[in-house]
Structure 1
Amino acid sequence: MNGEEEFFDAVTEANQRVTGVIHVDTSKSNGIGKVGERPPQENGIQKHRTSLPAPMFTRSDFSVWSILKKCIGLELSKITMPIAFNEPLSFLQRITEYMEHVYLIHKASCQPQPLERMQSVAAFAVSAVASQWERTGKPFNPLLGETYELTREDLGFRFISEQVSHHPPISAFYSEGLHQDFLFHGSIYPKLKFWGKSVEAEPRGTITLELLKHNEAYTWTNPTCCVHNVIIGKLWIEQYGTVEIVNHRTGDKCVLHFKPCGLFGKELHKVEGYIQDKNKKKLFVIYGKWTECLWGLDPAAYESFKKRERRTDSLRKTKLDDCPEKADGDVVDAVPEAQETVQVIPGSKLLWRVNTRPPNSAQMYNFTSFTASLNELEAGMEEILAPTDCRLRPDIRGMENGNMDLASQEKERLEEKQREARRARAREEAEWQTRWFHRGSNPYTGTPDWLYVGGYFERDFSGCPDIY
């Protein structure tokens, strides 16, 4: 079923109602600006911006239900959504947010023991989803052939991604340490579904981290992400599901349970798990919240603490049973526990803590400081970037600059251009050729994957498609 074609007319009408689209000639303007006199640089901006050019667009007057009521049970990647749902980033840039806490990879690489390395890798896997907290805007769907690169010398990595498939939407990425300490790569194709009150993103695709110094490879898949109250009420996000991180050299495994919200929200954001060896002996316990921090300690100390906690709870319950007249008040007081920060067990080791968000984050789509820098485009950079780079997309640039009319019109133009290119390939019976990645198998799991072929940073962009 081709939901994209089915909903295009209805969505276009809604889009115009939201933004009051005006038809202007954009052939001479892409919202980027003129090239300055500064020498070109390999996107190695030394001082990164800390805010966006314009504040977030309000969605308060927009009827989400008018679009989504026909989408229940459908895969949302096939639906053309109004720009009111978006945040000014491509999904390729959102994948790059995995790298915000890249110091955890560097730390893992420096650890002499495999148990310590797994602790840092587990912390990195949890940190990779931390930026999604309160991020209720939808990233722009990448166009087929779209790319994004990021070089951060200060953080010690460079990153390249490409949209390698449109239906189903698949984004492939590859990152390497600038000091030859790691490789980080994978392909992501989340399956989005609308269930009446919520939108669920089920993760597909394997993530692989290679620590070159130790000849170790770790693989895992992200948890499921769910955005609640998309129709009415305050939007909120939860992550749930089990993430298994495997060390393919030692056989060690880290099993992390991202807890669903639960009754009264007591489990909201919680992560609990353990590291075990190849014989399934528990070596280390991990706990915390993916929105805040992650701690760990020896399993024996953890069990001892839990026993004391259960004994205390049992005594407290006995006292409540003896004093029924006080029970109601005590139970009501216990409800706000969902808002408390992580209870740290004595003897625990801090594995990771989330970065503080900038004070203006709420006006910037709840971006972190790292995220706010991702669409940065300094004068001279467009001479260095591939012509398919997200930073050159006029609809995202328009939205970032607060020009919603231009952004909406450009989004529709780019989507129609993509459809026409697909029809032209069908007429010619030509298959799409990816540029920087090829279809293959993950070398450690054997599952289907997209592998980086190399060559991007040599900067021969002569064969890149015209997608904008």
Structure 2
Amino acid sequence: MKGRGCWETASVRSFCSSGCLNKFKKDDSGDDDEEPAAPADNSELHHTLKTLSLKLNDLSTCNDLIAKHGAALQRSLNELDSLKIPSECGEKLKVVNERATLFRITSNAMINACRDFLELAETHSRKWQRALNYEQEQRVHLEETIEQLAKQHNSLERAFCNTPGGPASSSKSFSEGSFLTSKGENSEEDEDTEYFDAMEDSTSFITVITEAKEDRKPESGPGTTTVDWTSADNVCEVLDGASFMPKDSCKVKRRVRIPDKPNYSLNLWSIMKNCIGRELSRIPMPVNFNEPLSMLQRLTEDLEYHHLLDKAVNCTSSVEQMCLVAAFSVSSYSTTVHRIAKPFNPMLGETFELDRMEDMGLRSLCEQVSHHPPSAAHHVFSKHGWSLWQEITIASKFRGKYISIMPLGAIHLEFQASGNHYVWRKSTSTVHNIIVGKLWIDQSGDIEIVNHKTKDRCQLKFVPYSYFSKEAARKVTGVVSDSQGKAHYVLSGSWDDQMECSKIVHSSPSSDGKQKTVYQTLPAKLLWRKYPLPENAENMYYFSELALTLNEQEDGVAPTDSRLRPDQRLMERGRWDEANTEKQRLEEKQRLSRRRRLESCTAGCGGEEEKESDGYVPLWFEKRLDPLTGEMACMYKGGYWEAKEKKDWHMCPNIF
């Protein structure tokens, strides 16, 4: 009991006091029918103890009644026995008397057992009550202590920022995303910061760079195609910085800024201290913790470096094409390095389209297809000859000192001309320093990209940050192999900056006895580099140029589009109080819709089936069996772009 109380109080830091958050009692995603928004452990214990006390009183009453009625029955039988009655009745009366005696003996045994249980329960109940009161006092004291420490830390940060040279150094540290601070600077948070083991053996290979003239043709196994590195211009040429900038070939003028983020004070502590271990989407959150984009728009933001796939279309070698696909999969994390705010949880049936054929050469559609768990389906078509689709379910947990975000679901990418079909899954994101210190995000885990046509594979490793490691932060390494398991390319870089690839000319086991492979490679070639952030990005939620345009109002979109969501629009304009009120209205509207679906589904659904589904059917996607993964996933069934062309949205639900 005591350990649990201490753990539950290890909660989120308090930036500064604010009383506006206590009124947000509902689920952030708008449905609290399945579990309470904020369970109160103390109230539940009090209720349990009260119920036990009532049951003990009932037992005591039953004990008294059995003793009373048993004595009355015995007196009646004694009176009957003294009467003069025929012998036949006397025999029956004797049998009844014997049975009454047995009942009395049994009742006395039960009464004695109940009395013993009652005394024991009352004794332990008093002990439990004293222990509960003690734990409550300790918890309140610990909460007050930690909250006071968090406020003092916040005051120290403000004082430091106001000192000469303070803001500049602080801004520099944050803009670089630096969390490589000295041990002395982080000594007060050593117990609350998650450190991984030293990463000396983190990579499974060692690369040795050699000159191009030393290139030796590797041994070719059966069915292996040897690729001429010097002739692969589409992937090998070193691109200069200008070639990575998006080309403004579109006639539509896109916005380049949004209103600056208001400097509102907020109190994380009051919301998160009782939510350790819970699903993040079920924690009640006001818009103060959000950025003015929905999860559907964040999912679409993965297409920012679509030019990597446009280049990959022209690759004649599947292993070289794999290098560009791997770089594209890594590039989707580059926007997360400073983006610590939470995107809006989409309403069920909410959509988001990105119709950018003129400048980006693609069309993208997302739809929120499930509410619990939150799940979004996504489909992209490019005029350059590739398609991408996925259904992503976000699983997240608040662990007290960090938040884990685990995207579940497979991502499919298919090139029409070659028929190459790639499948991979996303890595785990972790938000650190929840209690105290600067928030920072890390990516960790292994990703395997498989070309299901050629059986080529790419193993990517996102190296978790370690205080004791000499490795660069946010490091990503990988190896591209063909269907025979022969390695062709080594990939290296960081998920927030750039990725490079090097052609392998020779491989051999490590000579130091460790289970590593030494790859001799040609000099690295640049595959991808992150675009610079727009000017004043730190005041615009660190949005990229593409992110700034995603919530721009546009005519002709479906009435369920995220850009038409009123609370998100109010939040973007800085009217957060109005946005919070509007958010509550939308969530209540969504809860009412769900209750109506459940009521209509009750007649036609069985008991178990009803628990699994609330009767909602996505509008633009449908559940199908994925033949490659063997999982059921939502795939685009068509009709959206045709409806947009006809300006016919009569089938869309009214969710806003």
Tell me how far apart the structure 1 counterparts of residues 434 and 506 of structure 2 sit (CA, whole Å).
42
Q: Kindly provide the CA deviation profile for residues 198-243 of structure 1, in whole angstroms up to 9, marking residues without a partner as x.
A: 1110120110000111111100001101111223211100011001
Whether 1:100 aligns to 2:288 is no
From 598, 616, 621, the equivalent of 1:437 is 621
- Measure how far apart 1:8 and its partner are: 6.9
Tell me how far apart the structure 2 counterparts of residues 302 and 157 of structure 1 sit (CA, whole Å).
40
Tell me how far apart the structure 2 counterparts of residues 398 and 232 of structure 1 sit (CA, whole Å).
30
Whether 1:385 aligns to 2:569 is no
CA contact (8 A) 2:503 2:522 kept: no
- Measure how far apart 1:277 and its partner are: 1.2
Q: Which amino acid aligns with 1:392?
A: L
Partner secondary structure for residue 406 of structure 1: helix
CA contact (8 A) 2:38 2:275 kept: no
Whether 1:465 aligns to 2:653 is yes
Whether 1:157 aligns to 2:157 is no
Whether 1:71 aligns to 2:255 is no
From 326, 340, 343, the equivalent of 1:136 is 340
Q: Which amino acid aligns with 1:373?
A: T
Whether 1:373 aligns to 2:546 is no
Whether 1:406 aligns to 2:578 is yes
Whether 1:280 aligns to 2:280 is no
Partner secondary structure for residue 299 of structure 2: helix
Partner secondary structure for residue 190 of structure 1: strand
Match of 2:405 in 1: 201
From 266, 270, 291, the equivalent of 2:496 is 291
Tell me how far apart the structure 2 counterparts of residues 302 and 296 of structure 1 sit (CA, whole Å).
16
- Measure how far apart 1:296 and its partner are: 1.0
TM-score (norm 2): 0.57
Q: Which amino acid aligns with 2:371?
A: H
CA contact (8 A) 1:192 1:201 kept: yes
Match of 1:167 in 2: 372
- Report the CA distance shift for 1:388/1:9 in structure 2 as closer, same or farther (over 3 A): farther
From 35, 51, 68, the equivalent of 2:257 is 51
From 414, 422, 428, the equivalent of 1:224 is 428
- Report the CA distance shift for 1:196/1:8 in structure 2 as closer, same or farther (over 3 A): closer
Match of 1:7 in 2: 37
- Measure how far apart 1:283 and its partner are: 1.1
Match of 2:537 in 1: 361
Match of 1:316 in 2: none
Q: Which amino acid aligns with 1:375?
A: N
Question: Which stretch of the first structure deviates more once superposed, 434-443 or 395-404?
Answer: 434-443
From 450, 454, 459, the equivalent of 1:255 is 459
- Report the CA distance shift for 1:280/1:171 in structure 2 as closer, same or farther (over 3 A): same
Q: Kindly provide the CA deviation profile for residues 427-466 of structure 1, in whole angstroms up to 9, marking residues without a partner as x.
A: 2227112100011122322222111001100123211100
Partner secondary structure for residue 479 of structure 2: strand
Q: Kindly provide the CA deviation profile for residues 50-96 of structure 1, in whole angstroms up to 9, marking residues without a partner as x.
A: 111x111335x322122111111111112221211100000000000
Match of 1:122 in 2: 326
Aligned-residue sequence identity (percent) comes to 42
- Measure how far apart 1:138 and its partner are: 0.3
Q: Kindly provide the CA deviation profile for residues 103-127 of structure 1, in whole angstroms up to 9, marking residues without a partner as x.
A: 0111111111111111111111011
- Report the CA distance shift for 1:364/1:302 in structure 2 as closer, same or farther (over 3 A): farther
- Measure how far apart 1:346 and its partner are: 6.9
Q: Which amino acid aligns with 1:349?
A: K
Tell me how far apart the structure 1 counterparts of residues 435 and 290 of structure 2 sit (CA, whole Å).
15
Whether 1:396 aligns to 2:568 is yes
Q: Kindly provide the CA deviation profile for residues 137-188 of structure 1, in whole angstroms up to 9, marking residues without a partner as x.
A: 1000000000000111211100001000001111000000124x01100001
Partner secondary structure for residue 210 of structure 1: strand
Match of 1:214 in 2: 418
Tell me how far apart the structure 1 counterparts of residues 508 and 435 of structure 2 sit (CA, whole Å).
43
Tell me how far apart the structure 1 counterparts of residues 251 and 283 of structure 2 sit (CA, whole Å).
36
TM-score (norm 1): 0.80
Q: Kindly provide the CA deviation profile for residues 368-411 of structure 1, in whole angstroms up to 9, marking residues without a partner as x.
A: 11111100014xx0xx1110000000011001111111111111
- Measure how far apart 1:298 and its partner are: 2.1
Q: Which has the larger radius of gyration?
A: 2
Tell me how far apart the structure 2 counterparts of residues 370 and 307 of structure 1 sit (CA, whole Å).
48
CA contact (8 A) 2:504 2:522 kept: no
Tell me how far apart the structure 2 counterparts of residues 58 and 439 of structure 1 sit (CA, whole Å).
43
Tell me how far apart the structure 1 counterparts of residues 404 and 530 of structure 2 sit (CA, whole Å).
24
Does 1 or 2 have the higher relative contact order (CA < 8 Å, sep 6+)?
A: 1
Partner secondary structure for residue 271 of structure 2: helix
CA contact (8 A) 2:271 2:284 kept: no
- Measure how far apart 1:45 and its partner are: 7.0
Tell me how far apart the structure 2 counterparts of residues 299 and 195 of structure 1 sit (CA, whole Å).
42
Q: Which runs of 4+ in 1 moved over 6 A?
A: 301-304
- Measure how far apart 1:197 and its partner are: 1.5
CA contact (8 A) 2:378 2:391 kept: yes
Tell me how far apart the structure 2 counterparts of residues 45 and 207 of structure 1 sit (CA, whole Å).
32
CA contact (8 A) 1:285 1:302 kept: no
Partner secondary structure for residue 213 of structure 1: coil
Question: Which stretch of the first structure deviates more once superposed, 225-234 or 290-299?
Answer: 225-234
Flag structure 2 segments of 5+ consecutive residues without an equivalent: 1-25, 41-249, 515-520, 602-613
Which structure has the highest helix share of the two? 2
- Report the CA distance shift for 1:94/1:438 in structure 2 as closer, same or farther (over 3 A): same
Q: Which amino acid aligns with 1:420?
A: L
